[in-house]
């Protein structure tokens, strides 16, 4: 069993875009795995600061890149996920890499993209967290206040990050009622 978090591009980039990775460091330092396809997605030459921030996490030992090698179980699953089947939409390489590694390595998938990953979370019984849950854990551990979480949430929305509520407070209220 692993406590590793296998990040999808969308979840990690929510923090990278606003240059706020101290929460990730405090909560998951040394346990963040970036599937190689995620790292490639973060390497868009049009936004070099995103990759530079990811490289900072790697240089500090907070995150590691994990390749998906041909012939492995994770490669077989990854390949099946990125191929579109009749009647099914293929998912992105970052999502597929995160799902494949989280499943095979018995880790936790960190992703916000429920539309693409929801059925796979259920199908493979994956442990899963999203940006809201990360911020809620930071709140529980005293790393942020609710007001601070609302500020972070607002910054993420301003950078066009897809989040499930208009505010962090609304997310917390929804999560409390759902539990």
pLDDT band at 83 (very low <50, low <70, confident <90, very high): confident
Task: Characterize the bridge pairing of strands 32-35 and 5-7.
Answer: parallel
Nearest Cα to Cα of residue 118 among 106, 130, 132: 130
- Could you tell me how far CA 93 lies from the centroid of its own chain? 13
Could you give the CA distance from residue 103 to residue 132 in angstroms, rounded to a whole number?
Answer: 22
pLDDT at 88 over 90: no
pLDDT at 116 over 90: no
Residue spans per domain, the chain:
5-131, 132-178
Contact indicator for 129, 61 with CB cutoff of 8 Å: no
pLDDT of amino acid 2: 56
Helix (H) / strand (E) element for 94: namely helix 93-104
Give the DSSP letter of residue 48. H
Domain 5-131 in CATH 3.40.50.1010:
yes
Q: In this predicted model, what pLDDT tens digit does every residue of 120-171 receive, in sequence order?
A: 999 999 999 999 999 999 999 999 999 999 999 999 999 999 898 999 999 9
pLDDT band at 1 (very low <50, low <70, confident <90, very high): very low
Would residue 118 be called left, alpha or beta, if left means φ above 0 and alpha means ψ between -120 and 50 degrees?
A: alpha
Q: In this predicted model, what pLDDT tens digit does every residue of 3-42 receive, in sequence order?
A: 899 999 999 999 999 999 999 999 999 999 999 999 999 9
pLDDT of amino acid 89: 67
pLDDT of amino acid 85: 67
Q: In this predicted model, what pLDDT tens digit does every residue of 38-56 receive, in sequence order?
A: 999 999 888 899 999 999 9
**The two structure tokens encoding residue 107:** 């880790």
């Amino acid at each position: 069993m692993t406590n590793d978090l296998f990040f999808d591009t969308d979840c990690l980039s929510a923090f990278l875009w606003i240059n706020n990775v101290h929460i990730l460091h405090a909560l998951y330092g040394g346990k963040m795995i970036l599937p190689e396809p995620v790292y490639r997605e973060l390497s868009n030459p049009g936004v070099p600061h995103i990759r530079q921030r990811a490289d900072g996490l790697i240089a500090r030992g907070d995150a590691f890149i994990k390749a998906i090698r041909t012939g492995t179980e994770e490669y077989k699953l990854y390949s099946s996920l990125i191929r579109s089947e009749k009647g099914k939409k293929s998912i992105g390489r970052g999502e597929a890499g995160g799902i494949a590694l989280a499943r095979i390595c018995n880790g936790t998938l960190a992703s916000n993209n429920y539309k693409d990953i929801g059925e796979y979370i259920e199908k493979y019984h994956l442990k899963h967290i999203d940006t809201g849950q990360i911020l809620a854990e930071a709140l529980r551990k005293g790393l942020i206040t609710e007001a601070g979480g609302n500020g972070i949430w607002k910054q993420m929305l301003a950078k066009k990050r897809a989040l499930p509520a208009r505010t962090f407070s609304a997310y917390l209220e929804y999560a409390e009622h759902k539990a």
